[in-house]
Amino acid sequence: MKLTVKEIATYLNGTVIGDDQAVITHPGKIEQASEGAITFLSNLKYESYIYETKAAAVLVNEDFKATKAIHTTLIKVKDVYSSITKFLQFYEQSVHPAQGISTVSVIHPSVQLGKQITIGDFTSINKEVSIDDNCRIYPQVFIGVGVTIGKNVTIHPGVKIYHNCKIGDNCIIQANAVIGSDGFGFAPQPDGSYKKIPQVGIVVLEDNVEIGANTVIDRATMGQTIIKKGTKLDNLIQIAHNVTIGENTVIAAQTGIAGSTRIGNQCQIGGQAGFAGHIEVADKVKVQAQSGVAASIEEAGSKVYGYPAISYQDYLRAYALFRQLPKLEKRIRQLEKNKK
């Protein structure tokens, strides 16, 4: 990418203070930016960096006033965060592969492809698959029999989507995620061995869902494992068979959710949290990182923490007492000694 500061300012409806012909090649953090970078300053906690940054240009709010000499070009905008988001979306588009279907991809003749489709090298798309308009599929993706994919979907390298799963519009699936692998279902046998239970359901991702890298979502034993619209899953998450995750819920990395659990709408779940199977979590529940949820949470808007998870406030009180235990033990021992 090569753009002048003037071109970027025009795109963002900003005002240039400095060299409007400076060339921008990439974004960067204000404290680490190299020559040719564009960065931003919104939180004045980082103001000191603007006076020493090597970036070619810095986005700032219209009311920003420097307290020292500045040696870079400023682009003043109405709102820094919305402007940098708009620019990064533009930049991301510039680094995507060129549109078109690779000649070394393998696509079954029965596949239905929409308009403006990109398919990368060594991707395999099986029979009876349907892919709607404006989808971008990176190299080395596997798409199984009967999968349906909506509009404006991006599938990054190495993703595996098993047979009959359904992907909604505007979804993003990051590298090496697995959608529709077998659920962990085994029947114990009289001799102590385990017999595999066929997993014949599917996974459904509704619209505007994002799945992080190396996340695995198991297909249902029967029926559907469902990730509802607007939900965002981080990297390295395990979603077991027949789980339902509600709308606009966010889940951080390394969380595990056991089979048939239902998570509500607009929940916020910290990293490395664990959920037992066959429980329900109400809407807008917040689960702190590394918590273990072993029972249903029925109250909407609850905050829980700990292992097993309890009310957030109760946990803090209990932890405060826990930290006092060594001192309390010494006092008790001293009291016992004094009695003697």
**What residues are labeled active site?**
241
245: nearest Cα among 255, 162, 235: 255
Residue 252: how many other CB atoms lie within 10 Å: 20
Tokens representing residue 321 in the block: 């007492």
- C-beta separation of 98 from 118 below 8 A: yes
Question: What does each C-alpha distance from 60 to 12, 21, 38, 167, 179 come to in angstroms?
Answer: 12, 18, 11, 39, 41
Beta-bridge partners for 132: none
Task: Provide the pairing of β-strand 130-131 with 186-188.
Answer: unpaired
The span from the CA of 10 to the CA of 16, in Å, is 9
Contacts of 250 (CB under 8 A, 6+ apart): 231, 232, 234, 267, 268, 269
Question: What does each C-alpha distance from 38 to 89, 173, 199, 244, 334 come to in angstroms?
Answer: 14, 28, 50, 41, 65
Proportion of the chain in helix, strand, coil states, percent, rounded to 5: 15, 30, 55
Task: Provide the pairing of β-strand 268-269 with 286-287.
Answer: parallel
Task: Provide the pairing of β-strand 262-263 with 244-245.
Answer: parallel
